[in-house]
Amino acid sequence: MRITRLLIAGLLIVSATAHADSTSTQATAGLDINDKTFSCIRDMTKVRGFYVGSLTDNLEQTLAVANTSDGGTYPAGSVVQLVPGEVMVKHPEGFSTATNDWEFFELDVSPAGSKIRKRGFVDVVNRFGGNCFGCHIKAKPQFDLVCESTHGCDPIPLGKDMLALLQKTDPRCENNEALTAEELQKLKMLQQAFAKP
Ligand code: HEC
């Protein structure tokens, strides 16, 4: 199964590359993504509770989809983050049909930057045992696998204030503000709740 998928992915890349050569204006192979692709979450553009960016200088189109209330298909190059350690990136159309061309990433973040811990399409499982795709595919089809709190996905156990705190304390950011005593307390509770046994 996995080998078949790899083979298919390989074939797709080969045919996509050949296609790109013949047209030379459009890159239809997957995007080149590595540790350096990701940095401080707050340097991205905030939309409601999450952040978006573009790897292909197409932020306007990404924002156009993110800002509608009735959904839409995110353009290739879109990057979406809610918490520092998890990212979705949109590849060119046809790159991963099963996931609407989204690739899921789990990152280890530190003041030194991001390290990709896991990446992939239908089989990335986060550090809490949840399959990214398994949850995100439950978003109503018009929302292109973007869950937010109202699109039909199973909820995550983090409230708005906790999410805001994780964004505020992204260790990759250089300008993190000092936390209030109350925020420190919340962060401590969060770390304890999610500590590995
Ligand atoms: C238990 C189900 C579940 C799992 C597992 C899960 N997510 Fe999510 N994810 C959600 C929900 C629900 C939201 C929206 C939460 C909110 O806005 O309050 C969300 C939000 C996001 C967002 C912001 C855009 C959006 O969809 O709202 C990104 C990016 C994201 N998740 C990536 C990932 C990645 C990458 C993984 C795996 C490493 C993952 N998620 C695993 C349910 C899940």
CA angle at 162 for the pair 160 and 167, rounded to the nearest 5° = 95
Q: How far is the CA of 133 from the centre of ligand 1 (A)?
A: 9
What is residue 49's DSSP assignment? T
37 and 108 inside one domain = yes
58 and 129 inside one domain = yes
26 and 38 inside one domain = no
30-51 confidence digits (pLDDT tens): 899 999 999 999 999 999 999 9
6-34 average pLDDT score: 54
Output the pLDDT for position 23: 38
Ligand 1 pocket, residue 106 CB under 6 Å: yes
Residue span of the structural domain in which 184 resides: 31-193
Ligand 1 pocket, residue 153 CB under 6 Å: yes
58 and 139 inside one domain = yes
Ligand 1 pocket, residue 150 CB under 6 Å: no
Output the pLDDT for position 5: 55
144 and 50 inside one domain = yes
68 and 3 inside one domain = no
44 and 72 inside one domain = yes
CA–CA separation, 55 and 42 (whole Å) = 16
140-164 confidence digits (pLDDT tens): 999 999 999 999 999 999 999 999 9
CA angle at 30 for the pair 12 and 19, rounded to the nearest 5° = 55
Name the residue type at position 82. Answer: L
- Strands (E) located in 48-142: 50-54, 78-81, 86-90, 102-110, 113-120
Q: What is the mean pLDDT of the chain?
A: 88
CA–CA separation, 182 and 184 (whole Å) = 5
22 and 71 inside one domain = no
